[in-house]
Amino acid sequence: MRIGDLARATGTTARALRHYEQVGLICSERASNGYRIYDERAVVRVRNIRYLLSAGLVLDDVRVFLPCLDGDLAAAPPSDKGLRVALERLAVLNERIAAQTEARARLEAALREKTGDLENRRGSDVTVGSNPTASAP
C-alpha cells in the first residue's frame, strides 16, 4: 500500500509515517516510481505506535517495544523493560506537571499582587503591570 493509504488506514499523516520510518520504527520498499510501498502488516505496527504515543510515551520510548509492535500490543502482558520505560516516562511527566503547577501558582500570586482579587477579575483583560482602570482599545 502507498503512504496515503497507510495514513488513512491508521488515522495519521504521511509526514508522521515518514518520520516513523526515518527513526526506524517502520520500513517501506520503493516502487519503480520512487513511491514508498508498505506491507499490509504496517497498519498494525503504526496503530501500536500511535497507541503507545497516545499513552504518553515518546518515540524513543517506543523503540523498546519494537519486538512486539506487530502483535496485539494492548492485550499483551507488559514486559519488565516496557514497564520500566513506562514508569520512567510517568516520572518525567509528573515532574513536568509539578513544575507547571508551581509556575501557575507563581503567576497567580504575581497577578493577585498586582491586581487584587484574581478570582473576581478572571475573564477581564488583566495584564501584569497594566493599569486595571484603563479601558481596553
| pLDDT score of 64 | 92
Q: What are phi and psi of 58, to 5 degrees?
A: -110, 170
**% the chain with pLDDT above 90:** 74
Buried b (16+ CB within 10 A) or exposed e, 85-121: bbeebeeeeeeeeeeeeeeeeeeeeebeeebeebeee
CATH 3.40.50.300 matches 3-120: no
Helix (H, G, I), strand (E, B) or coil at 31: coil
Amino acid present at 117: D
Dump pLDDT digits (tens) for 81-126.
Answer: 999 999 999 999 999 999 999 999 999 999 888 887 656 666 555 5
8 Å CB contact between 50 and 10: yes
How far is 114 from 97, CA to CA, in rounded Å?
Answer: 26
Dump pLDDT digits (tens) for 40-93.
Answer: 999 999 999 999 999 999 999 999 999 999 999 888 888 899 999 999 999 999
Average pLDDT over residues 8-24: 97
Residue 135 scores a pLDDT above 50: no
Q: Count of alpha carbons within 13 Å of 9, Cβ hemisphere only?
A: 18
Average pLDDT over residues 9-18: 97
